Amino acid sequence: MAMELSNAEKDGKYTIAVKGEIDLYSSPDLRSAITKAIPSASAALHIDLSGVEYMDSSGVATLVEGLRASMEKSVAFVLLAPAPPVLKVLQLSRLDTVFTIKDRA
C-alpha cells in the first residue's frame, strides 16, 4: 500500500493531505512535497494526516525536517488531525509537544 499526496491552497494556507503509509520508501516523496510547498505557503503549511494508516520513524524525521524548514521561513507548520498511528509514533519519540497539532481547520 503506497502513499498518496494531494495539495490544496487557500488564502496563503497550503495543505498537503497524506493518505496511506508513510514509511522508509515513501518518506522521500513527502519530504520533497513539503520542501516544494514551503515557498508557496505564505502564512501556514498544514499537513493533513487524517488518512495515514501507518507511519514509521522516517515519517517522524521528515515532519521534523519540515518543521525546521518552515520555522526558518517563518511559516506556521501544522499537523492536521493526525490519525492514531501517527499520534502514537509522535508520542513514542516524545515529539508530540514539539508540533502544533490541530483537529480540523
Partner 1 sequence: MPEENGPIIEVKDLVVKYGDRTVLDNINFHVNRGETFVILGGSGCGKSTLLKNLVGLMRPHSGHILINGQDITEMTDVERVEVRKKLGMCFQASALFNSMSIGDNVALPLREHTKLEESTIDIMTKIKLELVGLGGFENYLPAELSGGMKKRAGLARAMAMDPEVIFYDEPSAGLDPIVAAGLDALIRKMQSTFNLTSIVVTHEMASVKLIADRVLMLLAGKVVGYGKLEEIEGSEHPFVKQFFDRRPDDESDNRDDYIKSLTGQDDD
- Contact positions toward partner 1, by CB under 8 A? 1, 21, 23-25, 27-28, 31, 53-54, 56-58, 60-62, 64-65, 92-95
Whole-number minimum distance, CB 38 to partner 1, in Å? Answer: 14
Give the H or E element holding residue 52.
strand 44-55
Whole-number minimum distance, CB 6 to partner 1, in Å? Answer: 22
DSSP state of 78: E
Of 13 and 23, which has the nearer Cβ to partner 1? 23
Farthest CA pair distance, the chain: 34
Give the H or E element holding residue 17.
strand 13-22
